[in-house]
Structure 1
Amino acid sequence: MNALKRILGSVWIVMAVLTAYYCIDIFGPKLTSGKQDDLVFGIIIFFVLMPLVCLGLAVFGFYALRDEYKD
């Protein structure tokens, strides 16, 4: 079971990186489109939601790799 937790910890970290790439790739043009609605949406995605999601996935994966979830 511990081996599975370590593998899934790596998967969570990879998902954090892919989520960051996806947000930058898909929502990046929203910041430079020139429309006010797109700019507000892009700022919310980049500075509020993306750090929460990516850091949450990365921290969860880091703890899984360090066997913090033994119990």
Structure 2
Amino acid sequence: MIRAVWNGTVLAEAPRTVRVEGNHYFPPESLHREHLIESPTTSICPWKGLAHYYNVVVDGPYGPVNPDAAWYY
């Protein structure tokens, strides 16, 4: 099982991911969305397209925040 963990909290886990440029991309259904808050940040990759970002939040709404730490295309 492959896991994405921050501050001891599992953010995603799946038996398989897609690895691109050293990053693991998890299937949408494997995300623990209670820790992911949509960010207004976007960026563009010439070959992957438009990226949208999440702020990662653990330990409730007032816990530590890792801004723009997760993204999807």
Q: TM-score, normalised by structure 2?
A: 0.23
- Relative to its length, the structure with more helix (as a share) is 1
Which protein has the larger Cα radius of gyration, Structure 1 or Structure 2? Answer: 1
Determine which structure has greater relative contact order: mean sequence separation of CA pairs < 8 Å that are 6+ residues apart, divided by chain length: 1
- Relative to its length, the structure with more strand (as a share) is 2
Q: TM-score, normalised by structure 1?
A: 0.24
